[in-house]
Amino acid sequence: MLNFRRGSAVVAAVVVAVAGTVVTGAPASAAVAAAPAGVRAEAPARPSATPQAADTATGPAPVEQRAATMPTADALPTVQIDGVAWSQAILGNTVYVGGKFANARPAGAAPGTNLTPRANLLSYNLTTGQLNTAWAPSTNDQVLAVALSPDGSRLYVGGTFTSADGQNRYRLAAYNTATGQLVSNFKPILGYMVRSIVATNTTVYVGGTFATANGQTRNNLAAFNAADGSLTGWAPSADFTVNALVLVDNGTKIIAGGSFQNVNGAPAYGLAAIDASSGALLPWAANQKVQNAGQNAGIWSLSTDGNAVYGTGYVYGAGGNLEGAFSADPATGAINWIEDCHGDSYDSYSDRTTVYTVSHAHYCSTVGGFPQTDSNWNINQRHAIAFTAEAKGTLGNNIYSAYTNWAGNPAPAMYNWFPDMDFGKYTTSAQAAWDVTGNGEYVVMAGEFPTVNNVGQQGLVRFATKPPAPGKQGPRVTGANFTPAMVPAGAGSIRVSWPANWDRDDMTLKYTVTRNGTAVKTLTADSQFWNLPTLSFIDSGLTPGQTYSYQVSATDPDGNTVTGDPASIVAPNDPAPSAYSKQVIADGAQLYWRLGETSGQTAADRTGSNNGVGTALTRGTPGALAQDPDTATSFNGSSSTIGSSTATQAPDTFTVSAWFKTTTGSGGKIIGFGNAKTGLSGSYDRQVYMDNSGRLWFGVYPNSVKTVNTTAAYNDGRWHQVVASLGPAGMTLWVDGTKQATRSDTIAGQQYTGYWRVGGDKVGAWPNAPRSSYFAGAIDEFEVYPSVLTDAQVANHYTIGTTGPAPNQPPAAAFTSNASGLTATFDGSTSSDADGQITGYQWDFGDGTAGSTEAKPSHSYAAAGTYQVKLTVTDDKGASNSVTHPVTVSHADPTAKFTATAADLKISFDGSASTATDGAKITGYAWDFGDGSAAGTGATPSHTYATGGTYQVKLTVTDSLGAKNSITKAVAVTAGNKAPTAAFSSSADGLTATFDGSASADPDGSIASYAWDFGDQSAAGSGATVSHSYAAAGTYQVKLTVTDNSGATASVTHAVTVAAAAGPIAADNFGRTSASGWGNADTGGAWTISGGAPNASVSGNRGVLKPPAAGSTVAATLNSVSAKDIDETFQVTLDKMPTGSGVYVASQVRKSGNSYYMLRLIVKPTGQVAGYLIVSSAGAETTLCALNVPNLTYAPGMTLGVRFTVSGTPATVAGRVWDAAKAEPSTWTLAPVTDSTAATQAPGGISLLAYLSSNTTNAPVAVSYSKLLAGAPAP
């Protein structure tokens, strides 16, 4: 885990790696870095986001209903982890996962329970979600990237580890997918972090943060031969981190993404196309438009579906222009579309129809999605969203100045697919999913999320189409939060309204309203979690004075139903609403205060329950409307105001309207939205105010004041109607039914939760702000609509209000249809009524069956054909209109499905799960096995492939009515088992032989067992390395039989000769006592002392040499020994630390006069030990090797172990020294050197000596030798 700096704060962060891959001929990779900044700095000027021409609708495309081929939002049970998962890859039915975690646990298990150790790697069954218990690899640090070879035979893993399965692997390793074993001969060495991998069957490309590969210079990009891990000549150079790699154009080109600014010394701002053979930088247009690079921005991931390359970006300061995702042409880099949701995006996966992204998106309004509903965007994040793979519209204007405005560029449509994820705490970066991939049926996500859809599911999750997904994600709002509101609508009539519900994976919901338990109204409507329109209908023909109970239920297309709490009302005996009120309600007012109350301080909501609460109101003022006795309310200009009782999110699409009359010269606010219910608000906009001269102003505040205004004054003491709207087309201000001002550059206001205010609230320092925040005058008929009214609607309201209702205009019937098989769906919601609303639908489906009264019904026909479908609509005044269209339905195609079961090269297929509709049956199966062989038939064929690999297998089914359907899947085929190769080496020490069979190998698996026949009729041995003691010297035929993981065996036999061990050349344990001299060695004869026998003694199992004075030497020599090849060990101890230049401890071998080889140690007063290998020819010494012994400091009382070996001609000389309290090291301290000095190529004696440096001041110093053993070197 790394730390990345955002601004002046260090944020614990996330280093991630390659996105998931699927072996379908389109490997993909991606990378992520740090969490996005909490406070954003505006990026420097980047190349303009000028839109390209697109054959799409202008403006953001509407949100689309999830297609039947998409997964549902059901989170399928999946194995969990206790850390973070960075990367995934799918091979057949296996999902491989890499990350930073220590344990796995089953779905449903609480954290810390039912743990199975897994060190940073695991795999699980895609169909069941269960951990694969047979594969338990481990790395000693995090895995940031996993990727598969195209033939599916290898899984490559990269990261920051230096060990895999206990073996040295420096940040890159490979596993055999058939055996699960580490590939033994693939051992590249990267100098630092690997973040992304993409592979062909012969070459492995990596990107990351490193300066060397296999010891050679490579700047963040490298490639290796898959066969042996050797470095290739591919050496493009990126000047900063490479996060993502993807292979395109039939493997000839690599697209790289990251935070680099240059590749091969040329500009390539975060995106580069690189020749896969030469490493040359190639033109790629995307980096001329999407530009993320440097310390604070980059491209996090790249993926491909074969049709397009998809990238995701991050920006948390200067240096980037896109936090969302883009689609580009693989060959040219031309941008297909951009989705510029705000919030760093980490990965993408496309199934060629739908593109899934993982991010912390918090604002997607520009692509037709959800707004940022609070200044604290953390509360509005969606971590998993989906888009169409094709462009469907263009981006709208961005309202946040810190972000690039991509308006007008081609854009996809967002799907209504919103599984909920909570952010995790493992990395302290407050993120949820980091990786997404899939295989067409399943979409899998990985990260650090603790829950999905409010259920514990840590780190890993699966989504799937239905079936196998259950489709149980239903409407979300229930109980008291889904209670209808009722208001009188005239004698015997009640207006029933309720807010639309929403669903995680369905946009179109069906609503059923019951009265006293009986359904009285059914309608369908579209909604999303941020777009919940108020739905309503008028229930007429009721008995005045009787109590009625209403209840609303919502049902999604999967049949999931929720029901709200009931509410009751007494049917009124009031007069019918005025023509004006009817029109307001018909046009969809969401809030409507008539302000005609005769007393009190409450303004009744005539469309729901959001009543107004007033202060200092004067009631009963004559009203504004002609032919309507309803009164108005007067406001005093100093304290009178009304605020809505229920807080709502400030809308970005709305219309407000009110009638007013005044003669004030102090202006004041007529309508506004603020964060205070009473008093003056701190946040306020969406306001209509009058300036001191009587002109009207309408303004909003999307981080700066945006207004439109009239030129005329309206403080003339007469009634006027003011209407203002905000929406995707901008701002509009009308007065008295006529448009007065517009602006198209402003499509949103400030984001906060607040209240609608009438008659007074803070205006602030806005243009031509009035002297008073409060309005002095009369106000009537305040209305809020969740839509932008048309010019005709505004004019109609004014006409009705001033002259009374115009004659009713009949409605216009219109509908569209869509057929799928024999079932057709119809949508009559485009029918309209110019002066009212549609109140009834009547369908005649043209086949003699009962019709429907729904706006959007569906109908199943008994037979294929063309039917004349008629829709008749009725408006709120009883007028009707009809339209008829021919609708053609045909038999629906069957659904093709199959599974594949592998047994080496033989694959068994089963297509029996394929289904037909409309009573038909599957009658034919045609198989294309993807290898050019003859087609197969039948529901359950088998096929044997010639070689292993991944094949695109296609099944086409035909039903009994002749309809066809196909499905293609990637099927991984592994070649049959190959026999292992047996091999072993041996060595003998006396009658004991040691055998090593680890050189045995299995080309397609691993060695499972070793069986040894030692050739002496003894019991068999086992294990890769064994030793065996023979009873007698001789030559024996030793046989090794190895068995691989699939049961195949191989044997090899070698002759092995053993002989009785030779005795030592010299040995002395000093188990005697002598005050002068050393006496006789245990083996090797008498010791000869030079330098004075009294300076040599033996006691306590030690031979002591004590140089008496500075500059003196004492030596002990075995003159009777004559040996050429010798391996000598001994221990040595000093009685105190010397002063001056220290004490010299030495051993001489092949000693003949003054010719010898010598190992000399100098122990210095500091405890430092220096070692030397020396050759002397007739007294002339030459140093062969010298060094200060690393990691060894001598201290009083310490015993040193020494080994000195000399062998061969010319002589090979080596030595080692260590703390004898520890194990003898396996490496030489003084590396072996070769010497051919003539005087030392013959046998000679052994000598031990001690010398006290000439500047020593604490003589004598006693040097004690022990455990001397000298023998012939091991062969």
CATH (domain of 923): 2.60.40.10
The last residue of one of the domains, among 973, 1003, 1022, is 973
pLDDT digits (tens, 9 = 90+) for 233-263: 999 999 999 999 999 999 999 999 999 999 9
Residue 71 confidence (pLDDT) above 90: yes
pLDDT at 1061: 63
In a domain, 889, yes or no: no
Question: What single DSSP character describes residue 794?
Answer: H
Residue 39 confidence (pLDDT) above 70: no
- Which contacts of 129-136 are long-range, i.e. CB under 8 A and separated by 24 or more positions? 129/76, 129/77, 129/78, 129/79, 129/462, 130/79, 130/106, 131/79, 131/104, 131/106, 132/94, 134/180, 135/180
Residue 696 confidence (pLDDT) above 60: yes
Residue 8 confidence (pLDDT) above 60: no
pLDDT digits (tens, 9 = 90+) for 754-765: 999 999 999 999
Give the chain's domain count.
7
Environment class of 745 (CB within 10 Å of its CB; exposed 0-12, middle 13-18, buried 19+): exposed
- Can you tell me which residue has the tokens 């207004």? 707
pLDDT band for 989, please (50, 70, 90 cuts): confident
pLDDT band for 318, please (50, 70, 90 cuts): confident
- Amino acid letter at 619? R
DSSP 320-386: -S-SSEEEE-TTT--EEEEE--BS-EEEEEE-SSEEEEEEEE-B-GGGTS----SSSGGGG-EEEEE
pLDDT band for 919, please (50, 70, 90 cuts): confident
Stretch 415-424: mean pLDDT: 96
Residue 1053 sits in the same domain as residue 1073: no
Count the neighbouring beta carbons within 10 Å of the beta carbon of residue 717.
10
Distance CA 453, CA 433 (A): 13
Q: Are strands 84-91 and 21-22 parallel, antiparallel or unpaired?
A: parallel
pLDDT at 14: 32
In a domain, 928, yes or no: yes
Indicate the range of 11-25, 349-363, 369-383, 1188-1202 predicted with least confidence: 11-25
pLDDT at 46: 36
The last residue of one of the domains, among 437, 464, 491, is 464
Environment class of 962 (CB within 10 Å of its CB; exposed 0-12, middle 13-18, buried 19+): exposed
DSSP 507-556: SEEEEEEEETTEEEEEEEEE-BTTB--EEEEEE-S--TT-EEEEEEEEE-
In a domain, 42, yes or no: no
Mean pLDDT of the chain: 91
Count the neighbouring beta carbons within 10 Å of the beta carbon of residue 36.
25
In a domain, 64, yes or no: no
Residue 279 sits in the same domain as residue 414: yes
CATH code assigned at 297: 2.130.10.10
Residue 624 sits in the same domain as residue 742: yes
Residue 531 sits in the same domain as residue 658: no
Stretch 1226-1232: mean pLDDT: 91
Distance CA 655, CA 666 (A): 25
Say if residues 52 and 409 touch (Cβ distance below 8 Å).
yes
802: part of which helix (H) or strand (E)? helix 791-803
Residue 659 sits in the same domain as residue 707: yes
pLDDT at 892: 80
Distance CA 811, CA 834 (A): 7
* Short-list 67, 147, 151, CA closest to 437: 147
Residue 645 sits in the same domain as residue 506: no
Q: Which two tokens stand for residue 677?
A: 């219910």
In a domain, 53, yes or no: no
Environment class of 1234 (CB within 10 Å of its CB; exposed 0-12, middle 13-18, buried 19+): exposed
Stretch 530-555: mean pLDDT: 94
436: part of which helix (H) or strand (E)? strand 433-438
823: part of which helix (H) or strand (E)? strand 823-827
pLDDT at 375: 67
Query: How many Å separate Cα 1170 from the centre of its chain?
Result: 54
Residue 564 sits in the same domain as residue 593: no
- Amino acid letter at 1163? V
Residue 67 confidence (pLDDT) above 60: yes
pLDDT at 1062: 67
Residue 1246 sits in the same domain as residue 1212: yes
pLDDT at 1218: 96
In a domain, 696, yes or no: yes
Residue 872 sits in the same domain as residue 966: no
Residue 907 confidence (pLDDT) above 70: yes
Q: Residue 1100 belongs to what domain range? A: 1066-1271
Residue 1177 confidence (pLDDT) above 60: yes
Residue 750 sits in the same domain as residue 823: no
Residue 1049 sits in the same domain as residue 1076: no
Q: Where are the beta strands (DSSP E) in 705-815?
A: 706-713, 720-727, 730-735, 738-743, 753-758, 776-785
In a domain, 49, yes or no: no
Residue 591 sits in the same domain as residue 540: no
pLDDT at 1275: 63
Residue 695 confidence (pLDDT) above 70: yes
In a domain, 1206, yes or no: yes
Residue 272 confidence (pLDDT) above 70: yes
Distance CA 797, CA 791 (A): 10
The last residue of one of the domains, among 439, 464, 489, is 464
Residue 37 confidence (pLDDT) above 80: no
- Amino acid letter at 479? G
Residue 664 to residues 598, 634, 1104: CA-CA distances in angstroms?
Answer: 24, 13, 118
Query: How many Å separate Cα 240 from the centre of its chain?
Result: 22
Stretch 135-156: mean pLDDT: 97
Residue 219 confidence (pLDDT) above 50: yes
pLDDT at 9: 24
Residue 848 confidence (pLDDT) above 80: yes
Stretch 682-696: mean pLDDT: 97
Q: Which two tokens stand for residue 243?
A: 């996060």
Q: Which residues of 226-235 are buried (b: 16+ CB within 10 A; e: fewer)?
A: beebebbebb
